[in-house]
């Protein structure tokens, strides 16, 4: 799956899950473009699908750089087919108990325009949420999924005052300004309550925020990141609540299509280095296993550095060697599980290691997204760090869902009409 993470490209994140949600909510089978040998695929969900000309299918497309405006762009962009809000972070207690978390809310449009129907259930938007807690010290990974139509206040997003929600999972501004933002998500097993400060200014990825994923016009997203957000709050794990603090990363992307026909997934890295810099890099993978030429990333200098301008990195700048693998006992997918990552023009040479081997999400479409640590050097000086890695396309099979997976506002859950009626 995806951003941001996301990917999101970002854990990122991924939007195949949205395709599943759309299929269930509308009582339709998955569209043929999303099926391959009876399984759902990342490339199907994020592929171009039709003409790449802006507006040809009723949706806007990311075709050229645009001006970004904050806080407005923290809010939704409903003229595009898909978007996500993607948070990940590493947290710890005062006595050193370590946690990682992922909290992602996805929006997907069912149609470019709202239907003219009288039903209060009518909507053209579906929201999907993924929530994970990596209990590093306890050696356990908790993951859950839910989705709902954006009707009757079940789910939605707004810019001012900022709020994105899916039932009681939400990200919302606290007070009159944008910051801090409060994240809240909980299940029977785990809960997260965090306050996030902005930290560094938003970083525009790609060409001034236009992140091109393939050669086709419009196979791109608008993409920015907030790379080091001071975070504090609580984590509850199996009945015990812990006060925690740490740093989070937020990825925001919106697009109408993002992957080319020969791309099958990605390896996405968001790394916070001990020298105060950050690196985001996503390696798009082709069907033959090679890295696509549109793989890309950004290095963000430390605050107060002589040059504060982010540095773009390309596929030619980055070398990634897989040092170990992990095979999922559930899906059978075999994932990279330790990496040596080098960026010569930055003088960066680090080893990236998962804090837990098993951080695979058993949701609608399986993917691996988890907390990592790193150690190595930059310009010959030792450094350490931490971050998140997302791996998609290694186990594109629809498996048994977590016990917390649920749909709200679906025909099966509610005795009512479909969301487009």
Residue of 151, 18, 81 whose CA lies nearest to 417 = 151
Is residue 20 classed as helix, strand or coil in its secondary structure?
helix
190 assigned to some structural domain: yes
55 or 416: which leads in pLDDT = 55
Helix (H) or strand (E) holding 45: helix 42-46
The stretch 112-132 carries a mean pLDDT of 82
User: What pLDDT shows up at residue 140?
Assistant: 97
Q: Is the predicted pLDDT of residue 416 greater than 90, yes or no?
A: no
Residue 2 falls within a domain, yes or no?
no
Number of domains in the chain: 1
Read off the tokens for 118: 């009288």
258 vs 301, more confident: 301
Q: Where are the beta strands (DSSP E) in 159-219?
A: 163-166, 169-173, 181-186, 190-196, 203-204, 210-212
The per-residue pLDDT of the chain, averaged, comes to 82
Confidence of residue 137 (pLDDT cuts 50, 70, 90): very high
Average pLDDT, stretch 14-22?
A: 45
pTM assigned to the model: 0.85
Provide CB contacts within 8 A for 116, sequence distance 6+.
Answer: none
Of 414 and 207, the one with more pLDDT: 207
The number of C-alpha atoms within 13 Å of 243 and in the hemisphere containing its C-beta is 2
pLDDT in tens, 44-71: 444 444 444 545 578 999 999 999 999 9
pLDDT at 152: 86
Query: Would the pLDDT of 106 be above 80?
Result: yes
* pLDDT for res 258: 60
For residues 232-246, average pLDDT: 97
Q: What pLDDT, on the 0 to 100 scale, is given for residue 113?
A: 78
Q: Where do we find the tokens 């925001």? A: 252
Tell me, yes or no, whether 3 lies in a domain. Answer: no
More reliable by pLDDT, 290 or 323? 323
Q: Average pLDDT for residues 158-182, to the nearest whole number? A: 94
328 versus 400: the higher-pLDDT residue is 328
Burial of residue 219 (number of CB atoms within 10 Å: 0-12, 13-18, 19+): buried
Tell me what pLDDT residue 351 has: 98
Q: What is the SS3 assignment for 176?
A: coil
What's the rounded mean pLDDT across residues 234-238?
Answer: 95
Higher pLDDT, 20 or 220: 220
Residue 414: the pLDDT is 35
Residue 384: is its pLDDT beyond 90?
yes
List the domain range (segments joined by +) for residue 57: 15-408
Whichever domain contains 90, its CATH number is 2.40.370.10
> Mean pLDDT, to the nearest integer, of 222-228?
97
Cβ–Cβ < 8 Å for 359, 141: yes
Average the pLDDT over each of 126-135, 212-221, 348-357 and give the range with the smallest value: 212-221
What is the per-residue pLDDT for 5? 38
Residue 260 pLDDT grade (very low, low, confident, very high; cuts 50, 70, 90): low
Q: What is the pLDDT of residues 62-102, one digit of tens each?
A: 999 999 999 999 999 999 999 999 999 999 999 999 999 99
Cis before residue 161, ω within 30 degrees of 0? yes
* Residue 418, in any domain of the structure: no
What is the rounded distance in angstroms from the CA atom of residue 115 to the CA atom of residue 119? Answer: 10
pLDDT (tens digit, 9 = 90+) per residue, 331-359? Answer: 899 999 999 999 999 999 999 999 999 99
The residue among 52 and 259 whose pLDDT is bigger is: 259
In this model, does residue 149 exceed pLDDT 50? yes
Is the residue at 130 inside a domain? yes
- Is the confidence at residue 146, as pLDDT, over 90? yes
Residue 4: inside a domain, yes or no? no
Q: Lowest-pLDDT range, 15-24, 93-102, 112-121?
A: 15-24
Q: Find the mean pLDDT for residues 117-134.
A: 86
**pLDDT(305) > 80:** no
Which has the minimum average pLDDT: 247-256, 275-284, 358-367?
358-367
């Amino acid at each position: 799956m995806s951003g941001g993470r996301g990917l999101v490209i970002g854990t990122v994140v991924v939007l195949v899950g949205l395709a599943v949600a759309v299929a269930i909510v509308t009582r339709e089978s998955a569209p043929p473009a999303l099926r391959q040998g009876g399984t759902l695929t990342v490339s199907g969900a994020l592929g171009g699908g039709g003409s790449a000309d802006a507006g040809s299918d009723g949706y806007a497309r990311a075709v050229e750089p645009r001006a970004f405006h904050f806080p407005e762009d923290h809010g939704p962009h409903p003229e595009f087919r898909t978007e996500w809000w993607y948070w990940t972070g590493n947290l710890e207690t005062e006595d050193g108990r370590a946690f990682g978390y992922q909290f992602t809310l996805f929006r997907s449009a069912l149609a470019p325009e709202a239907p003219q129907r009288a039903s209060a259930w009518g909507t053209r938007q579906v929201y999907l949420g993924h929530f994970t807690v990596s209990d590093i010290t306890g050696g356990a990974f908790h993951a859950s999924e839910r989705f709902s139509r954006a009707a009757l206040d079940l789910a939605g997003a707004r810019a001012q005052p900022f709020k994105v929600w899916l039932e009681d999972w939400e990200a919302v501004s606290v007070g009159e300004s944008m910051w801090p933002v409060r994240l809240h998500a909980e299940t029977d097993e785990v809960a997260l309550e965090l306050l996030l400060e902005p930290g560094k200014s938003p970083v525009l990825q790609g060409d001034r925020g236009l992140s091109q994923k393939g050669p086709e016009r419009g196979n791109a997203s608008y993409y920015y990141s907030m790379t080091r957000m001071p975070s504090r709050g609580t984590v509850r794990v199996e009945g015990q609540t812990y006060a925690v603090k740490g740093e989070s990363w937020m990825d925001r992307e919106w697009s109408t299509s993002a992957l080319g026909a020969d791309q099958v997934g990605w390896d996405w890295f968001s790394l916070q280095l001990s020298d105060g810099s950050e690196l985001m890099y996503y390696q798009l993978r082709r069907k033959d296993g090679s890295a696509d030429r549109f793989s890309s990333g950004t290095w963000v200098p430390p605050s107060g550095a002589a040059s504060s301008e982010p540095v773009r990195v390309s596929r030619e700048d980055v070398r990634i060697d897989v040092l170990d693998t992990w095979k999922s006992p559930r899906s059978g997918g075999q994932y990279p599980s330790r990496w040596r990552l080098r960026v010569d023009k930055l003088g960066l040479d680090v080893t990236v290691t998962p804090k837990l081997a098993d951080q695979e999400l058993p949701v609608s479409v399986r993917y691996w997204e988890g907390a990592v640590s790193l150690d190595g050097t930059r310009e010959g000086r030792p450094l350490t760090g931490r971050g998140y890695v997302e791996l998609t396309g290694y186990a594109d099979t629809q498996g048994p869902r977590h016990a917390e997976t649920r749909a709200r506002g679906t025909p099966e859950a509610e005795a009512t009409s479909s969301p487009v009626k």
